């Protein structure tokens, strides 16, 4: 399943807050609450030293019941040995890869038949 994927211009940080049920601020992109704590994805400011993640975001051209959409993206990345962190929206999946792996991820996705474009 070939998709058109946009590289999100922001960089992200993935945080684990083990004792929180909600972050202290509203500077987050996505939240996932689980028994072991809260996972927070937020844009990382340029001055913060942290592991940076870059997102690939698909175009919302499918419905929620379309099988294989996410697998078509993470499969080639797994095959290339690239770690991912995924969060989903109603319209598409945001697939995060470590910043240093973006060139390899882009190549793996293109080789799998996806179109990868830089978002502005």
pLDDT of amino acid 26: 79
Class assignment of domain 4-12+47-118? alpha beta
pLDDT tens, position by position, 22-75: 888 878 888 888 898 889 999 998 888 899 999 999 877 666 777 788 999 999
pTM, rounded to two decimals? 0.87
List the domain boundaries for the chain: 4-12+47-118
Residue where the block lists tokens 């994927």: 5
């Amino acid at each position: 399943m070939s998709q058109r994927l946009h590289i999100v211009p922001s960089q992200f940080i993935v945080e684990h807050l083990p004792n929180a049920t909600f972050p202290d601020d509203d500077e987050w992109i996505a939240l996932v609450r689980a028994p072991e704590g809260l996972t927070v994805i937020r844009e990382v400011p340029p001055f913060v030293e942290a592991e940076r993640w870059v997102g690939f975001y698909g175009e919302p051209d499918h419905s929620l019941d379309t099988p294989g959409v996410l697998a078509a993206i993470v499969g080639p990345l797994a095959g290339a040995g690239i770690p991912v962190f995924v969060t989903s929206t109603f319209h598409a999946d945001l697939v995060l890869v470590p910043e240093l792996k973006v060139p390899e991820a882009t190549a793996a996705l293109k080789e799998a038949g996806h179109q990868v474009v830089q978002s502005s």
